[in-house]
Amino acid sequence: MLKKRIAIIGAGISGLTLARSLEKDSDVVVFEKARGVSGRMSTRFAAPFFFDHGAQFFTARTQRFKDFLQPYILSGTIKEWAGKIITLEAGKKITKSMWFEPHFVASPNMNSLCKKIAEGMNVQLNCEIVSICKENADWYLMDQAGHTLGTFDWVISTAPPAQTTHLFERDLPFSAPVRSIKMNACFSLMIGFTNPWKKHWIAANVRNSPVRWIAINSTKPDRVSDLTAIVVHSNNAWAESHKEDDLKSVEMTLLKEFESLTDMESNKAAHISIHRWKYAMYDGSESLEFYLDAEKQMAATGDWAAASRIEEAWSNADRLASRILTSIY
């Protein structure tokens, strides 16, 4: 039997998990519009600083995900990030706590896990898929330059809901949940200081503020410890209402809020930058499922199908891969 040709759009944790599960029995090609793999498990480099400006950490609550992580833990690609967590709120006393379960990060940077998973795969970088169509039994993909990228038996999108709906428009039922999924935005403010971090806490949850989270990125395992790299994530609801604002204006607002919360002076920073994530967090509490149409040989999954936790995104991709293999073989 000839191997099925499968196209996967997106090289984040969902797309790479699918590719690794399907490649044993199929000819898989992963298409990624960015310069590297990882999706929201991304790292921004601004010499001499590194910032995990997307996903900050992940937990492992299911045995299957723990089993998946184990070899990466043994090799040192995954390590626990431990320390004191504080809660900040204007006008309120700081409270301190410890995480009640292990919180993991990839090492030496958050994108290191996806890079390891992708080793040996056929991943086409800097390749944005702008349209797909099906003729007879074959799927055709076209990139931003107007090039047709071959024919495929299956196509799977791990792109955000808006892009997935656009790509599948002609073949996606109106009742498909992915059509109605809403993803909220988030801003990542990155601040670098040339002196080491000397405070007792590694991260802060923030309440009633445009800021939701502050992480001392340089306290994570194997980061550069003689510098201080800080990632500030905005409140998602606030970001959604300001996602089209001028980035400099957003940066100034978040910097001012950061200073008032921490008493740190941003004018002493050696680096300040900001990134806008238009599709950062699933806006809902219901845990959704992947989309699969075995007859048309198309599927979709991603953060929108997983309440935005890394483990849930991985688990949904893992289950989808099993269903596809059952459909094929």
Write down all domains in the chain, each with its CATH number in brackets.
1-37+118-181+288-329 (3.50.50.60), 42-115+183-282 (3.90.660.10)
Q: Do 109 and 217 touch, CB atoms closer than 8 A? A: no
- pLDDT value of position 286: 64
- pLDDT value of position 301: 95
Pick from 3, 2, 1, 7: nearest CA to 297? 7
Q: What is the pLDDT of residues 62-72, one digit of tens each?
A: 999 999 999 99
- pLDDT value of position 289: 83
Half-sphere exposure of 152 (CA within 13 A, CB side): 25
Give me the residues of the chain with pLDDT under 70, please: 1, 285-287, 306-308
- Answer left, alpha or beta for residue 222, where phi above 0 means left and psi between -120 and 50 means alpha: left
Rounded to the nearest 10 degrees, the angle between the axes of helix 310-328 and helix 13-22 is: 30
Q: Do 325 and 22 touch, CB atoms closer than 8 A? A: yes
Contact partners, residue 211, CB within 8 Å, separation at least 6: 232, 233, 234, 235, 254, 257, 258, 261
- pLDDT value of position 1: 63
Q: Do 322 and 329 touch, CB atoms closer than 8 A? A: no
Task: Give, for 215, the enclosing helix (H) or strand (E).
Answer: strand 211-216
What is the spatial distance between Cα 256 and Cα 191, in angstroms, rounded to a whole number?
A: 13
Tokens, residue 93: 């006393």
Amino acid at 157: S
- pLDDT value of position 282: 85
- Max CA-CA distance within the chain? 68
What is the spatial distance between Cα 78 and Cα 254, in angstroms, rounded to a whole number?
A: 31
- pLDDT value of position 307: 65
